[in-house]
């Protein structure tokens, strides 16, 4: 048996086949295997192409040289194609699409903001309207009233017959076309008077000679206030007596005067000696109107009677109640009439007041209907409690 040849003497597979033929008579045939590092090819010729590099051809190749692999990563591609990216047209189209999407998102944001502003403005408008109607109703509802009975005769002992609040006849009166000095043109105004309970009640009969009224709560009374005394006394028709109050110790004093009329409160010949249990009430006089505010707009204002220490009763400074009120109109229902009138035939016959407020939303954004500020006209009817 032939000994194996060294690895360095191994030949081509064709030579091995010839050697095998010569040694046919031998008992064993050694078959040589090519080592793993020896390249194996398919015997095709390898040619050089000027642009494609090395490639396998169709011609037979019997050499032992390894076949080079063709480099095809960029084969057949021009340098411009190999480095190409997005074109200018593609970038412009992408930019246009992004602008359209951004504009749509911005439009939705602005629309939502406008709707939110309009909704918030309407909510604030309704809240202001409720507040205005509630405050006005508290005053108008009590017009001409007192803690006793509005049908009582009135004995007015005030010496002042100039100021409107000293004349207590109807309890309510209205005015057209900006009658007040600081009210807006073409708007209405209203004046209301009534006596509110102070919680003070006489604890002893009045001294007819001095006219002093001893009360249980002198702290509720201030000097100079316009007060009224009344009560329910069977068999004795006491009137509602209006007077200007003074204070002495724990009692109320007054001045005897007949400037506004009727019975002299301290006249011995026509003395009105109120018994214990007489109710002492205080005059409230108010004006409601629309005027200019300090922001350049218009608002609903209230002005009421005040009692500064040592100065006597006087109308106070205007109080801004509700902003953004552009118009105020009143109409009056009278007894026996189905429709209200701008000016009633008789003020003492007024039983209810129709109040119409025109208000603008405080938000400055415009509505989506006609491009104007959101504006609403709200109507409320207030019945006079003392006339029902």
pLDDT bucket at 50, cuts 50 / 70 / 90: low
- Cα separation, 263 vs 241, in Å, equals 9
Question: Per-residue pLDDT for 317 more than 80?
Answer: yes
Q: Of 149-158, 177-186, 223-232, 370-379, which range is least confident?
A: 370-379
Determine the average pLDDT of the residues in 359-374.
Answer: 65
Q: What is the pLDDT of residue 274?
A: 83
> Secondary structure of the chain in the HEC alphabet?
CCCCCCHHHCCCHHHHHHHHHHCCCCCCCCCCCCCCCCCCCCCEEEEEECCCEEEEEEEECCCCCCCCCCCCCCCCCCHHHHCCCCCHHHHHHHHHHHHHHHHHHHHHHHHHHHHHHHHHHHHHHHHHHHHHHHHHHHHHHCCCCCCCCCCCCEEECCCCCCCHHHCCCCCEEEECCCCCCCECCCCCEEEEEEEEEEEEEECCCCCCCCCCEEECCHHHCCCCCEEEEECCCCCCCCCEEEEEEEEECCEEEECCCCCCCCCCCCCHHHCCCCCCCCEEEEEEEEEEEEEECCCCCEEEEEEEEECCCCCCCEECCCEEEEECEEEEEEEEEECCCCCCECCCCCHHHEEEEEEEEEEECCCCCCCCCCCCCCEEEEEEEEECHHHC
Closest CA to 213 of 197, 230, 196, 189: 230
Question: Per-residue pLDDT for 180 more than 60?
Answer: yes
The proportion of the chain whose per-residue pLDDT surpasses 90, expressed as a percent, equals 31
The b-or-e profile of 209-242 (16+ CB within 10 A means b, else e) is: eebbbbbeebeebeebbbbbbbbeeeeeebbbbb
Find out whether 241 and 229 touch, Cβ atoms under 8 Å. Answer: yes
Q: What is the pLDDT of residue 186?
A: 92
Closest CA to 315 of 345, 288, 350: 288
Closest CA to 196 of 149, 240, 148, 147: 147
Closest CA to 152 of 240, 234, 80: 240
pLDDT bucket at 375, cuts 50 / 70 / 90: confident
pTM confidence score:
0.67
Higher pLDDT, 306 or 253: 306
pLDDT bucket at 38, cuts 50 / 70 / 90: low
The proportion of the chain whose per-residue pLDDT surpasses 70, expressed as a percent, equals 69
pLDDT in tens, 10-24: 555 545 445 544 554
Q: What is the pLDDT of residue 266?
A: 40
220: phi then psi, degrees, rounded to nearest 5: -80, -5
Q: Show me where the domains of the chain are located.
A: 7-81, 117-387
Q: Which is it for the CA torsion 290, 293, 297, 300, positive or negative?
A: negative
Task: Report the Cα 341 to chain-centroid distance in Å.
Answer: 35
Find out whether 218 and 247 touch, Cβ atoms under 8 Å. Answer: yes
Q: What is the pLDDT of residue 113?
A: 80
- Cα separation, 69 vs 26, in Å, equals 41
Determine the average pLDDT of the residues in 289-298.
Answer: 92
- Cα separation, 26 vs 208, in Å, equals 169
């Amino acid at each position: 048996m032939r000994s194996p040849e060294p690895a360095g003497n191994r030949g081509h597979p064709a030579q091995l086949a010839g050697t095998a033929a010569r040694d046919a008579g031998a008992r064993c045939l050694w078959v040589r295997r090519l080592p793993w590092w020896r390249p194996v090819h398919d015997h095709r010729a390898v040619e050089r192409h000027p642009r494609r590099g090395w490639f396998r051809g169709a011609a037979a190749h019997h050499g032992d040289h390894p076949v080079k692999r063709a480099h095809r990563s960029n084969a057949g591609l021009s340098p411009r194609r190999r480095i190409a990216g997005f074109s200018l047209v593609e970038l412009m189209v992408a930019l246009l699409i992004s602008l359209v999407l951004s504009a749509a998102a911005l439009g939705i944001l602005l629309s939502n903001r406008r709707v939110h502003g309009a909704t918030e403005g309407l909510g604030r408008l309704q809240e202001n309207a409720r507040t205005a109607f509630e405050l006005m109703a508290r005053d108008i509802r009590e017009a001409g009233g007192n803690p006793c009975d509005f049908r009582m005769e009135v004995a007015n002992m005030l010496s002042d017959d100039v100021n409107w609040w000293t004349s207590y006849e109807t309890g309510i009166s209205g005015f057209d076309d900006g009658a007040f000095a600081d009210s807006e043109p073409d708007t209405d105004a209203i004046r209301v008077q009534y006596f509110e309970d102070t919680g003070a009640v006489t604890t002893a009969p009045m001294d007819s000679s001095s006219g002093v009224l001893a009360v249980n709560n002198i702290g509720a009374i201030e000097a100079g206030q316009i007060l009224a005394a009344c009560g329910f006394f069977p068999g004795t028709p006491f009137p509602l007596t209006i007077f200007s109050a003074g204070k002495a110790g724990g009692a109320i004093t007054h001045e005897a005067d007949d400037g506004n009329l009727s019975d002299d409160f301290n006249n011995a010949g026509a003395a009105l000696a109120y018994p214990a249990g007489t109710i002492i009430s205080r005059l409230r006089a108010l004006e409601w109107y629309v005027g200019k505010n300090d922001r350049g707009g218009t608002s609903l204002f209230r002005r009421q009677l005040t009692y500064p220490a040592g100065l006597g009763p006087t109308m106070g400074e205007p109080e801004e109640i509700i902003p953004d009120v552009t118009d105020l109109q009143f109409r009056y229902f009278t007894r026996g009439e189905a429709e209200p009138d701008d000016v009633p035939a008789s003020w003492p016959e007024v039983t209810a007041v129709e109040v119409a407020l025109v208000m603008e939303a405080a938000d400055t954004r415009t509505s989506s209907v006609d491009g104007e500020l959101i504006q609403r006209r709200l109507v409320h009817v207030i019945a006079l409690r003392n006339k029902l």
